[in-house]
């Protein structure tokens, strides 16, 4: 009996002396684990005289109850003080480690923004395959047989000579017109492929967004108004637009479209090469031969088309000096945008 009382005093003192969860757990293991001192007392019950067994067992049980009560109370105290977490365990009281949120790739950001802007003008998104037919990519778009763009030095042809990787997103326009009657008002964002030698401003794989509006009495004034709206929304409210005569096989008349520089506001700087203008898109009125190729009556409808490079806009807006930075998958670089 004296031994039980001694163990009880020793155990209760050890519980109160435990300064953290690790020390308290060590006390528990020492006294009430399977091989602890208190279970060991019960093993000696068989050696106790019969007339004393009842009193002995009751005293050991009282010890166990007193230990458990003191243990639970001390554990609660440590928890309230924030010190009850065992070594290596998860402490819910610690502040979280904040992880930065991901962001969209600059190309995706600008594509989404362009879609958003043109959707306010009534344009819908059309899509098409990256692998195209020669008819959709060249023939229907009024490229004559000897046109330089058809050369294998400029275009990726597949094993089937009638198939190629599209060189622009204009084939989407052809596909859409072949399956839909006018009026049409679509934009077609997507990847394009050309045999360009990669450098700071060129890539063999790039992105374009094409626009097509076909209806009765569509004019260059409609084209200018829609692109002016896009310029102001994408580049800033003070952005101006100008058209310069150009030539494309699938539009007549054709124009190059420039936006006033958003950096210097037309005064001239390094970005615009001191001209005050930045070339953004090619555009024009759809050539009647294109309408004929898709089964439209060029005497009944007119339309305009435009195409602009997403990478070019990204480089201008974000100050990117090398197009290759967009495709090197360096999260440190891309996370800036």
Write down the mean pLDDT value for the chain. 87
User: Cis link prior to 183 (omega < 30° from 0)?
Assistant: yes
Q: Give the per-residue pLDDT at 86.
A: 54
Which has the closest alpha carbon to 280: 221, 191, 208?
A: 208
Residue 85 has pLDDT above 60, yes or no: no
**Is pLDDT above 90 for 62?**
no
3-state secondary structure of 139: helix
Please tell me the distance from the alpha carbon of residue 167 to that of residue 162, in angstroms, as a whole number.
14
Alpha helices in 155-266 (DSSP H): 170-179, 220-235
Q: What is the DSSP letter of 150?
A: G
Strand pairing partners for 281?
257, 308
Q: State residue 246's pLDDT score.
A: 93
pLDDT confidence of residue 175: 95
Which residue in the block uniquely carries the two structure tokens 């409210």?
A: 237
Report the pLDDT value the prediction gives residue 138, as an integer from 0 to 100: 95
Please compute the mean of the pLDDT values over residues 76-102 and round it to a whole number. 70
Q: Is 68's pLDDT higher than 90?
A: no
Mean pLDDT, range 256-268, rounded to an integer: 80
Q: Is the pLDDT of residue 83 over 50?
A: no
CA distance 14 to 274: 82
Q: What is the pLDDT of residue 207?
A: 94
Predicted local distance difference test score (pLDDT) of residue 84: 47
5: confidence class by pLDDT, cuts 50, 70, 90? confident
Residue 318 CB neighbours (<10 A): 15
Ranges 65-79, 174-188, 287-301: which has the least confidence: 65-79
More confident of the two residues 61 and 44: 61
Confidence tier at 133 by pLDDT (50, 70, 90): very high
- Residue 283 pLDDT greater than 80, yes or no: yes
Q: What is the per-residue pLDDT for 82? A: 60
Backbone φ and ψ for 180, nearest 5 degrees, come out as: -135, 135
Work out the pLDDT band at 89, boundaries 50, 70, 90.
low
Burial 68-88, CB ≥16 within 10 A → b, else e: eebbeebbeebeeeebbbeee
- 184-242 residue pLDDT tens: 999 999 999 999 888 887 888 999 999 999 999 999 999 999 999 998 898 888 888 89
Pick the more confident residue, 37 or 109. 109
Report the percent of the chain where pLDDT is more than 70. 97
As a whole number, mean pLDDT of residues 174-181 equals 95
Instruction: Please report where in the chains the tokens 């050369």 appear, as a residue.
Output: 151
Span 130-152, mean pLDDT? 93
Residue 126 and residue 171 in contact, taking contact as beta carbons nearer than 8 Å: no
The verdict on pTM exceeding 0.75 is: no
């Amino acid at each position: 009996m004296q031994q039980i009382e001694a163990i009880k005093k020793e155990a209760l003192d050890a519980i109160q002396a435990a300064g953290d969860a690790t020390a308290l757990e060590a006390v528990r293991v020492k006294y009430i684990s399977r091989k602890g001192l208190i279970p060991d007392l019960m093993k000696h019950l068989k050696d106790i005289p019969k007339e004393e067994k009842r009193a002995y067992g009751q005293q050991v049980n009282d010890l166990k109850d007193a230990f458990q009560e003191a243990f639970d109370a001390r554990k609660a105290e440590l928890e309230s003080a924030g010190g009850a977490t065992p070594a290596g365990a998860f402490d819910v009281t610690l502040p979280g480690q904040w992880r930065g949120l991901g962001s969209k790739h600059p190309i995706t950001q600008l594509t989404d923004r362009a879609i958003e802007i043109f959707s306010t003008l009534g344009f819908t998104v059309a899509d098409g395959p990256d692998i195209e037919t020669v008819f959709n990519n060249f023939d229907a778009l009024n490229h004559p047989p000897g046109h330089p763009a058809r050369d294998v030095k400029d275009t990726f042809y597949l094993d089937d000579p009638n198939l190629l990787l599209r060189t622009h997103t204009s084939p989407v326009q052809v596909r859409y017109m072949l399956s839909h009657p006018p009026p049409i008002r679509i934009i077609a964002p997507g990847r394009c492929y050309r045999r360009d030698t990669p450098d700071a401003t060129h890539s063999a794989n790039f992105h374009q967004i094409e626009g097509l509006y076909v209806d009765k009495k569509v004019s260059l004034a409609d084209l200018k108004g829609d692109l002016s709206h896009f310029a102001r929304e994408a580049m800033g409210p003070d952005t101006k637009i100008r058209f310069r005569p150009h030539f494309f096989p699938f539009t007549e008349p054709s124009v190059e479209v420039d936006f006033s520089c958003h950096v210097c506001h037309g005064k001239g700087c390094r970005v615009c090469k001191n001209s005050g203008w930045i070339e953004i898109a090619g555009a024009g009125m759809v050539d009647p031969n294109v309408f004929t190729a898709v089964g439209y009556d060029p005497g009944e409808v007119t339309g305009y088309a435009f195409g602009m490079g997403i990478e070019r806009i990204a480089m201008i807006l974000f100050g990117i000096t090398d197009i290759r930075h967009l495709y090197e998958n360096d999260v440190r670089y891309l996370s800036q945008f």
